[in-house]
Amino acid sequence: MSHHEIAVPMKAKFFSTGTKIVFAIMLAGMAAVAYRFIAGLGAATNLDDQYPWGIWIAIDVASGVALAAGGFTTALLVEIFHKDKYHAIIRPALLTAMLGYTFVAIGVTVDLGRYYNIWHVMLPDMWQGNSVLFEVGMCVMIYLTVLYIEFIPVVVERFKGKVNLPSPLSFLNGIIEWFLSIADRTLGRFVSLFVIAGVVLSCMHQSSLGTLMLIAPFKTHVLWNTPISPLLFLLSAIAVGFPMVIFESILASRSFKLKPELGILSSLARYTPALLGVYLGIKIGDITIREAWPAVLESSPQSWSWIVEMVFGVIIPIIILATPRFRKSIGGLFTAATMVILGVALNRINYFVIAYKPVYADYPYFPTFIEILVTVGFISALVLLYRACVMIFPVISVPVGQEPKKEEDGSRITSPF
């Protein structure tokens, strides 16, 4: 395979001004998490018997999973359909998915009242195959493992032959080196099995997230209460995958002063109007068949939220990305990608929070400051970890010959895929 690009660790000062701000927000978020564990959900959140789920489920978990979909959509495109020109986006997308799902797992833990029992989900005698949540939990756990396995070749590439821990730990060098070389020799052969498994697992739980509320049809606003909601979840996850890759790629090139890969990104963006279009078509068909159009016009918070979700998250981005002039500009790409991302996140918030109608609703739900701080804190932590990872590992690709000055081994980059 002839790639004109190689992945290299980024070189920059870790703490730029922006990074420092993000770091401070992360610390505040961690304090909020600590408060939740010490004082309990009642003190930290506005959750109660009317509204058992809030933004932690809607954003940290459901949106987190959706926005990590770039991992499986790029795997599908590049490794299964062999569109090799997009090879460079595989690793950034994989890293996003890996970190994204890690934070989904942490986010769930913060929301669970009896988090120390989470391992019960793995005990066969407590398996509850009827529970949608069980399937989601299982798939997420297995997929997270698969993502870590898929990332091993990147670690191997970076550290094989170079493990050199300082003296108190130096006895580990040999062992780690041994593991890395084993992984190097075996994984290459099996990694494609994991890649396919990752796609299958993703299709399963991305859709199942949309099955969750079907057990509560009487408590879900009609605009989102459809039996094809799992299909809509899957389609919107697939549609948001590439915009997420584009969004991150543009931000990363700005942050590390690289030239954005405009050619690759705008050609990747060609898929998005089609994918979003399918989603839009099915969504409109669904509303029509269920005769739910009056609900769109009822002028309630739900109907407005639905309209915003569809117009700003779907229709306008389709128009932008279907227009070659915009698609071929960084500004157009970035605007449209951001809108799709926010649109899908809003869809998840709508589904789990805005559309939820308690039987006896005395008041609406609005998150506490602590809830918001936890969510924002996790997003900040994710950004920082991403930055750290692309500086440690060869994730982001640069054209050959333009890689930043780096250690001796720049030549030894072979693609494990």
Partner 1 sequence: MSLDRRKFLGITALSSATLLTGSTHAHEIESKTDEVYGVLVDTVVCIGCRKCEWACNQEHGLSDKDLKSYEDKSVFKEHRRPNASAYTVVNEYRDPADSSKAYSMKVQCMHCNEPACVSACIVGALEKNELGSVDYDAWKCIGCRYCIIACPFQVPAYEYENPLTPQIRKCTFCHERVAKGESPACVSICPNEALTFGPRSKLIDLAHSRFKANPGRYHEHVYGENEVGGTSWMYLTAVDTKHTELPVLSAAPLPPLTEIIQHGIFKSFVPPLALYALLGLIMHTIGDKNEEQEVKE
Q: Which is nearer to partner 1, 356 or 393 (CB)?
A: 356
Please state the closest distance from residue 200 (CB atom) to partner 1, in A.
5
User: Which residue's CB is nearer to partner 1, number 43 or number 319?
Assistant: 43
Nearer to partner 1, 215 or 319 (CB): 215
Helix (H) or strand (E) holding 110: helix 90-111
Please report how close the Cβ of residue 130 comes to partner 1 at its closest, in angstroms. Answer: 5
Q: Roughly what angle, to the nearest 10 degrees, separates helices 229-255 and 172-209?
A: 140
For residue 256, what are its two tokens?
């590390």
The torsion angles phi and psi of 396, rounded to 5 degrees, stand at -90, 135
Q: Minimum distance from CB of 359 to partner 1 (Å)? A: 4
Half-sphere exposure of 350 (CA within 13 A, CB side): 25
In the complex, what is the shortest distance from the CB of residue 267 to partner 1, in angstroms, rounded to a whole number? Answer: 7
Residue closer to partner 1 by CB (options 229, 347) is 229
Closest approach of partner 1 to the CB of residue 45, in Å:
8
Which residues, in sequence order, are bridge partners of residue 6? 398
Residue closer to partner 1, measured from CB, 114 or 405:
114
CA dist., res. 240 & res. 338, Å (int): 10
Cα separation values, 61 from 55, 110, 137, 175, Å: 9, 11, 11, 36
Closer to partner 1 by Cβ: residue 16 or 128: 128
Q: Nearest distance from residue 401's CB to partner 1, in Å?
A: 19
The closest of 267, 249, 266 to 258, measured between CA atoms, is 249
- The strand pairing partners of 5, in sequence order, are 399
- 61 vs 136: CA distance, rounded Å: 11
Phi and psi (nearest 5°) for 257?
Answer: 55, 50
Element housing 193 (H / E): helix 172-209
- Site residues (CB under 8 A) for partner 1? 1, 37-43, 45, 47-50, 52-53, 76, 79-85, 111-115, 117-118, 120-121, 123, 126-135, 137, 192, 195-197, 199-200, 203-204, 207-208, 211-219, 227, 230, 267, 356, 358-360
Shortest distance (Å) from residue 225 CB to partner 1? 11
Nearer to partner 1, 135 or 261 (CB): 135
The kind and range of the H/E element at 219 are none
